[in-house]
Chain A
Amino acid sequence: MKEMRILSPTAILGYGFPMDSFKEGMKRKPHVIAVDAGSTDPGPYYLGAGKSFTDKNSVKRDLAIMIPAAIEAGIPVIIGTAGGSGGRPHVDLTLEIVREIAKEQTLTFKLAVIQSEFDKEFVKENLRKGYISPLFPAKEITEDDVEESVRIVAQMGEEPFIKALEGGADVILAGRSYDPSVFSALAIKEGFDKGLAIHLGKILECAAIAALPGSGSDCMFGYLREDGFVLEPLSPQRRCTTLSVAAHTLYEKTNPYILPGPGGAINLHESSFNQITDNMVEVKGSKFVPTEEYFVKLEGVRRVGYRTISCAAAKDPVMISQIDKIVESVKERVRNNFEHYGIKDFFLDFKIYGKNGVMAMFPNLEQQVAHELMIIIEAVAPTQDQADTICGFARSTMLHYGYEGRISTAGNLAFPFSPSDCKVGEVFEFNVYHLMKVDNPADLFPIDYIQFTKGC
């Protein structure tokens, strides 16, 4: 029977894996090693700033094991969403790491680099053609929104990876990718069922998170066959159970039965999960249903300004009992103080931990107030200088604010740090989260090849 074996070393490149698990994986003679290197979970900053949320040394440690092992075994390594967000600077950061490893270990291999960042003009052109629609609950965008974006990437499906494999790539380093694509590309190229391949990829992209006990820094192994697939954790401490695998299918998804991606969705209505050994689970019945037209998902962010924060605490019960009123008065004083000075366009927020700090996005929830509060004063303004001004002034105003019934007249706040204020830097927010219709998904993402011979 035909079988494709896939090794997923870790949930996110840089999260690491035990060497013993990796060796167990290599013993099972995988046809490909694949890893997802990114996520939108850490928020809009990283895509905007062109930085990675994973650490360079941690990423290098993982790749320095995976790449030589794959070259020795004669199998490809596929890396998706390089640098955490998959923009051009993120791909470049990871490319630099690959170059260092190639040189240090004098490796010979052909590298394919696939980019996923689009020029704004290209996006605007597609917007004019009516090819771009919002992904609910995001809103419609205009050409101005596109212009305001600092970076826009698109999630690639398996097509560019297949093209790079056909181009003879030993290692593929790709920009923003639909997470399962790196795991499913080789299998789809070899004619395996697309629904099963993508569903397997959906689970492998989080590596051992789908096992019990779960871990984001341990390996998972997938066996894809013609009529189903099997998952096996590679540490003897972990088991896959029908529940751990099915529960993982829920994770970070909108609806567990229909999982949309580039070009279509996988449908799990007829999926079955069976325990075949103590630690292995078999899944059958997942189907790929293509959409009539092919869409890719766009992600873009705009710069909002610069942030400064100050952390301060309160213990005084009289102050705590009046905290909402005090916050409003301080906000008003800050606004009034700088109105004529010319600093008017700013965001000032007080996150009150011990009250509603964690769940302030649900403002109507009932609140219990603790006996002490941590207050994070946050100012966002068009320049760092203005953010410093607003945060600093709000902090000093609150420190000495004469609220009603005040008897602790020396100061209202306990600062854990000196200096009390901290520059956080640029602030971004998502402003593009849209679908774009494409005619040829393989050609949308340009591929460059780099041949390394004994490290050079």
Chain B
Amino acid sequence: MEYNLIDIASVIRSKNSGPYELTFDIIFKDIDMYKRAKEARAINGKMFAALYEIDENDIISLVYFDPAKAVKITIVRPIPSGALGETDVYGAQQHAPLMKMKLTL
């Protein structure tokens, strides 16, 4: 069955992790849905790279974190925070594409 991520997640956010990395957190509403997503690796590097149109090698880590029912994806920041060309110094508004994501579980 296909789900909108926005319907099954309680938190979808992005933020700097230091000036050179951008990190995305997806916290699921309930543990069963989280476990299903984890088991199916429904959120994975290939899919994330396609969503943001980035090289999969720029994904530093993608971790399923059971204590928070969460998936965390950390990538190389396309430019360091505050460098010329910056549009989001804190990296706090880079999550929007995830809100349109669909998962098949």
* A residues apposed to B, CB below 8 Å: 40-45, 135-138, 242-243, 246-247, 249-257, 268, 271-273, 304, 347, 349, 351, 357-365, 380, 427-430, 433
Contacts and interface: CB of A to CB of B under 8 A. Distances in A.
Interface string B52-85: 1110000011010101111010101111111111
A95 B53 CA distance: 47
Given A138-B80, A253-B17, 12 more contacts: A40-B18, A41-B90, A43-B19, A43-B82, A136-B60, A137-B77, A250-B27, A254-B61, A257-B65, A358-B87, A358-B94, A380-B84
B87 A40 contact: no
B68 A358 contact: no
B84 A137 contact: no
Residue from B27, B67, B78, B96 with most neighbouring chain A CB atoms (10 Å): B67
B15 interface: yes
Contact of A273 (B67, B93, B96): B67
Contacts of A357: 87
B70 to A, nearest CB: 6
B90 to A, nearest CB: 5
A365 B97 contact: yes
B11 interface: yes
Interface string B2-28: 000000000100011111110101010
A227 B52 CA distance: 43
Contacts of B78: 361-362
B94 A359 contact: yes
19 contacts: A40-B16, A43-B19, A43-B89, A138-B80, A243-B27, A246-B68, A247-B70, A250-B27, A255-B61, A255-B74, A257-B63, A257-B65, A268-B67, A273-B67, A361-B94, A428-B82, A429-B82, A429-B83, A430-B80
B82 A256 contact: no
B72 A250 contact: yes
Q: How large is the interface on B (under 10, 10 to 19, 20 to 34, 35 or more residues)?
A: 35 or more
B96 A359 contact: yes
Given A43-B81, A45-B82, A365-B97, A243 B68 contact: yes
Contacts of A429: 80, 82-84
Interface of B: 11, 15-21, 23, 25, 27, 52-54, 60-61, 63, 65, 67-70, 72, 74, 76-90, 93-94, 96-97
A194 B36 CA distance: 35
A284 to B, nearest CB: 12
Contact of B52 (A135, A138, A250, A365): A365
A40 B27 CA distance: 25
Given A135-B20, A252-B16, A361 B85 contact: yes
A286 to B, nearest CB: 11
B20 to A, nearest CB: 5
Nearest to B76: A137
A63 B39 CA distance: 49
A40 B19 contact: yes
A429 B85 CA distance: 11
Nearest to B89: A43
Contacts of A41: 16, 81, 89-90
A360 B72 CA distance: 22
A15 B90 CA distance: 17
A433 B20 contact: yes
A36 to B, nearest CB: 15
B94 A249 contact: no
A357 B88 CA distance: 9
Given A255-B74, A304-B84, A359-B94, A249 B18 contact: no
